[in-house]
Structure 1
Amino acid sequence: MKKISKTVNNYNDISKDIKFLSNSMVRLNILKNLYESAMNMKDINQKTKINYSAISNNIHALEINGLIYRENNRYYLSNAMRVYMGDILKLASLMVLIERLSPILHDHIVKSLPRDSIDNFHLLQDIDLIEADGLNIYKTYDVIEKAIDKSDYVNAILPFSSNNFNDGINRLLLKNKKIHLISPLDIKEILIKNLDVSNANFKIDFFDFTEFLLLCTDKNMILGFFKDDGTYDQNRLLTSANDECIKWANDLFENFKKENV
């Protein structure tokens, strides 16, 4: 009972703080800027364009609630508030990301990704959604082929065989680039027949099946999904040249290999 009572009290305290913060965009704006750096009232005014009267009133309320403190005429977030704001900003950023990527997250099989990769999906802030259109119905395939041709190494989870992809991989092998593929067993014979599997720089593993496509290179990452009906969505891809996104993709590759190969 004591444990339950403590949990309820903690919930009530947190709920009270959240309501206090969310009731005022002025407070949230001030806290967001203080999260980035300590400021005095003049700094806050110049950064937010909020008038001094509103700043003063809200600063006073934030101080009374123990969410900020003043030192040498500059305002700082309390340790608890810094944690709150970090979580709030991360959640807000994730919601924007999910909204932007909704065309590929909705009605697609995302749960096939390793759990650790899903948990870190918020790291994909600098990712772009590429969609085929009437002018170029093969746009997504072109993106993958160009990424292969320009890479110095490739780690890939390929759920299907493509002559153009196979040719690109063989060209890289002729340049002594390292390739590691993971593909489903049902296309094993096709890949062995069409790829230079004897090349010392080439490694290929097989597993039962996958419901996504992944390409990791030194320059970018590419991610594609299957639709809920079990067909691969050849019209949409997520891609990025951001280092953090590339690291996320390589971690996904390693997590998938560890769990399935």
Structure 2
Amino acid sequence: MFKNELNDFKNIQKEIKFLTNSDNRLKILYCLLNSPQTLKGIHEKTGLNNSSISINVSSLESKGYVVNTNDMFYLTNASKLILTNIFYLNKSINFLDKNANFFNMHKLDNLKFNALKDISSLESSELIESTPFDIFKTVKLYKEFGFRSKSIRTIFPFMYPQINEIFTDWFENDVEIKLILEKNVSDAFIESFNNYKFDKESDSKISVKTIEKGLDFALFVTDEVIILGFYKNDGKFDQNAVYISKEKEAILWGRDIYEEYENIAPEYIYLKE
């Protein structure tokens, strides 16, 4: 099986090399990815000379990446998919390169394949770090955005220290929150919730899923933000650094991660409906 996978990888390698080893070819591909063009249209949009366009288009056509219909050149559907994946691969590599120091010191083991594959969605995110003058800078972000949000999805590997303050914020603002927690955290959370007293009526909805397997990241997603934290390689959660983004692509990526874990965890325990 490994031999077949290796051969597949080599074939993909050749395909990517053919498509990307020429700047002129890439310009033509990107031009056609946006919309079909005539040879004249390609020239006007890329600035390439007619000879280079003719040679590269002919080469792409012979390998089945481009089709000519009534002198209008189109990318095949397969080509569009390949180019889109190359584009996102490039974005992911750029993001990981820029953040190599951080990720080399932190665990990514429990991020699912799809999350790692689409990690370029965090391209616009900002790394927020605590300082000696504000040691709770990152922790306060969870509370700040939790206070401003009506709907929260979160995966947490540890117990928030000021949990009663969080409960008060949720109840006062009628927050609907779903949590996925490790077993020991879930037990402590449910016990704290059962011991908490809130005198006023509240429309908050709080439900918990418990997962046995250890989590090595923290995820906090609302309609307006995603916050992502990780364990360090020494096995301790890094409470001094989180990635945060308000971009829609990153928020949708975070929701996908939550749903992946939601689907493998047991049923919700409804603490408040």
Tell whether the structures are fold-level matches, with TM greater than 0.5. Answer: yes
Q: Equivalents in 2 of 1:205, 1:13: separation in Å?
A: 43
Q: Equivalent residue for 1:203?
A: 207
Work out the number of aligned pairs and report it. Answer: 256
Equivalent residue number for residue 39 of structure 2: 41
Partner letter of residue 216 of structure 1? V
Q: For residue 45 of structure 2, what is the amino acid of its counterpart?
A: K
Distance 2:102 2:21 in 1: 33
Which piece of structure 1 moves more, 135-144 or 212-221? 135-144
Report the alpha carbon displacement of residue 166 of structure 1 after superposing the two structures with TM. 4.4
**Match for 1:175 among 173, 189, 203?**
173
Shift of 1:99: 2.0
Cα deviation for residue 34 of structure 1 reads: 0.8
**Which SS does the other structure have where 1:111 is aligned?**
coil
Structure 2 distance, partners of 1:123, 1:151, is 22
3-state secondary structure, aligned to 1:179: strand
Seq. identity, %: 27
Unaligned runs of 5+ residues in structure 1 are none
Q: Aligned to 1:246, what secondary structure does the other structure show?
A: helix
2:269 matched to which residue of 1? none
What's 2:151 paired with?
Answer: 153
Aligned to 1:97, what secondary structure does the other structure show?
Answer: helix
Q: Distance in 1 between matches of 2:38 and 2:197?
A: 64
Instruction: Provide the rounded CA distance (Å) in 1 between the counterparts of 2:132 and 2:143.
Output: 20
Structure 1 residue aligned with 2:271: none
User: What code does the residue aligned with 2:153 have?
Assistant: N
Pick from 62, 65, 68 the counterpart of residue 66 of structure 2. Answer: 68
Per the alignment, residue 257 of structure 2 pairs with 252
| Aligned pair partner of 1:130 in 128, 131, 139 | 128
Distance 1:113 1:19, change over 3 A: closer
1:247 partner SS: helix
| Aligned CA distance change for structure 1 residues 253 and 82 (closer, same or farther; 3 Å) | closer
Residues 70-219 of structure 1 aligned to structure 2 (within 5 Å): 70-133=68-131, 136-164=134-162, 166-187=164-185, 188-189=187-188, 192-193=191-192, 196=196, 201-208=205-212, 209-219=214-224
Paired residue for 1:54, among 49, 52, 55?
Answer: 52
- Aligned-partner Cα distance in 2 for 1:55–1:255: 45
1:230 paired residue number:
235
Could you tell me which amino acid in structure 2 is paired with residue 44 of structure 1?
Answer: I
In 1, Cα distance between equivalents of 2:68 and 2:180: 56
In structure 1, give the amino acid aligned to 2:230.
Answer: F
* CA–CA distance in structure 1, aligned partners of residues 264 and 57 of structure 2: 50
Q: Structure 2, unaligned stretches of length 5 or more?
A: 267-273
Distance 1:88 1:11 in 2: 14
Distance 1:33 1:260, change over 3 A: same
Q: Under a length normalisation based on structure 1, what TM-score does the superposition of the two structures give?
A: 0.79
Alignment-derived partner of residue 243 in structure 1 = 248
Question: Structure 1 residues 19, 164: CA separation in 2 closer, same or farther (over 3 Å shift)?
Answer: same
Question: Over aligned residues, Cα RMSD in angstroms?
Answer: 3.4
State the alpha-carbon separation in 2 of the partners of residues 197 and 158 from structure 1: 23
